Homo-oligomer: A and B are copies of this chain.
């Protein structure tokens, strides 16, 4: 059987898809994906494990050890993030592991902003005669957006979820909102929760709806994110509070999901702290209902343009999901 010809970017796309398995459990480490390829065939694959160790490269290398001979010698490693250059008490540097295995080439999807590694991982590989290339892969960068937001901005990558009618209402005028979207869209929303490590609602939503914000999918209840509320008032046990979106760092969370209400959503948008919009829409019209957003401080209509880009669109039962990313 002939191996299929994939480009370096195709392999990095595949590594990024593997990396998603570590999200968000790898915290505080980045969720990295790695593939080891020899003669067009995958001989090792790995992703960052729960709590951050083993690293993706170490897992992929461990798989090659089960093969005859030194299978990794002369192979190419595809890894979404620059291999770490620093040893820690939890294991050796990945750059050293790859050097030790005698791989020929390492293709990297994204440079590590961590000052202990940034550039040093690549340098260490090259010193050992390994062809190390940085490709700037969109898929790899996207798969690391939580880690990158923390490293660069000191806050989690932030997604605002809105579930509305076609005319943009999140509830009837009396507050009734069960149900606007159908079971497929709600299940997708719970899947999003499981991929985030922090979730936030506004103070009024907490007081009025007392939402559980847990992951109601079989086997995934343990993945329920840490609960935050935007308030200056007291908070119930099991919740943490922030008073100002512009100043909150959310511990070491990499992925924050904002689930409303209109005031909290508007506060994060006004502070330009939203990186992604998840717009679930049901095929219904409500009319004079409650709207999903409060005042976001927009002065001129022209200023609203050029900020959001449609990146995904799908159907969920009879509902639709549009995903928009903040253009920065």
Main secondary structure of the interface of A (DSSP, over half): loop
**Are B172 and A324 in contact, CB atoms less than 8 angstroms apart?**
no
Which of chain B's residues has its CB closest to A169's CB? Answer: B168
State how many angstroms separate the Cβ of A241 from the closest Cβ of chain B.
24
A205 at the interface (CB under 8 A from B): no
Contact for A284 among B179, B292, B297, B308, CB less than 8 A: B308
Q: Are A166 and B277 in contact (CB under 8 A)?
A: yes
**A287-B295 in contact (CB<8A):** yes
- A315 lies within 8 A of chain B by Cβ: yes
Bound form: Cα–Cα A283–B305 in Å = 7
CB neighbours of A287 from chain B (8 A): 266, 269, 293-298
CA distance A304 to B168 in the complex (A): 14
User: What number of copies of this chain does the assembly contain?
Assistant: 2
- Which residues of the other chain, B, contact A177 by a CB distance below 8 angstroms? 301
Known: A177-B301, A310-B315; 4 extra A-B contacts, CB below 8 A, are: A167-B168, A168-B291, A283-B305, A287-B295
Smallest CB–CB gap between A163 and chain B, Å?
13
- Residue among A291, A304, A307, A318 having the largest count of chain B Cβ atoms under 10 Å: A304
Q: Once the chains bind, are A322 and B320 in contact (CB under 8 Å)? A: yes
Query: What are 9 A-to-B residue pairs whose CB atoms are below 8 Å?
Result: A164-B168, A166-B279, A166-B308, A168-B168, A172-B301, A285-B298, A286-B293, A287-B295, A289-B298
Chain B residues, CB < 8 A from A305? 282-284
Cβ distance A26 to chain B, nearest Cβ, rounded Å: 32
Q: A309 on the interface (CB 8 Å rule)?
A: yes
Residue in B closest to A283 when the chains form the complex, CB atoms: B308
Residues of the B chain whose Cβ atoms lie less than 8 Å from the Cβ of A266: 287-288
Kindly state the separation between the CA atoms of A283 and B313 in the bound complex, as whole angstroms: 13
